[in-house]
């Protein structure tokens, strides 16, 4: 297979979830490229965003895992370009973006 003829990699998802808003406050979505929350300025996903995402994706948990993994990729891209030498480790970013999500064996049994 000629690698020059492979399709270009797709871009990650647009970080538009969770969609919930309170009044005219900004939603708890990430501000790129720093990946801080627009609403509360904590590292995204903040606790409120995690709650809202779990509620929003309650019946589509695999989609939440895919969404988070896509944003993990996007965040790594942004943060490593911003701070190539002492940014967060891949493990730290994985824990922050993906590992808290619903698709874990521990949550499958405990319905966390």
Distance CA(32)–CA(61), nearest Å, equals: 24
- Provide, rounded to whole angstroms, the least separation between the CB of residue 57 and Zn ion: 17
Question: Which CB, 49 or 98, lies closer to Zn ion?
Answer: 49
Give the residue carrying structure tokens 């979505």: 29
Footprint of Zn ion on 26-65 (CB under 5 A): 28, 37, 39-40, 46, 48
Question: Which CB, 37 or 98, lies closer to Zn ion?
Answer: 37
3-state secondary structure of 31: strand
The structure tokens listed for 76 are: 């790594």
17 binds Zn ion (CB under 5 A): no
Kindly indicate which of the ranges 3-11, 20-28, 79-87, 96-104 contains the residues binding Zn ion, using the contact rule CB under 5 A: 20-28
- Provide, rounded to whole angstroms, the least separation between the CB of residue 9 and Zn ion: 29
Going along 18-102, which residue ranges are E strands? Answer: 30-31, 36-37
Q: What are phi and psi of 31, to 5 degrees?
A: -95, 115
Residues that bind Zn ion (CB under 5 A): 28, 37, 39-40, 46, 48
């Amino acid at each position: 297979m000629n690698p020059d003829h492979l399709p270009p990699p797709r871009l990650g998802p647009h970080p538009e979830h969770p969609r919930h808003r309170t009044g005219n406050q900004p939603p708890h979505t990430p501000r790129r490229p720093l990946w801080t929350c627009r609403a509360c300025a904590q590292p995204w996903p903040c606790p409120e965003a995690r709650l809202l995402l779990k509620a929003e994706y309650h019946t589509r948990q695999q989609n939440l895992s895919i969404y988070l993994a896509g944003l993990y990729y996007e965040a790594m891209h942004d943060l490593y370009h911003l701070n190539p030498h002492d940014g967060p480790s891949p493990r730290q970013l994985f824990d922050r973006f993906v590992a808290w999500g619903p698709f874990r064996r521990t949550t499958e049994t405990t319905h966390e």
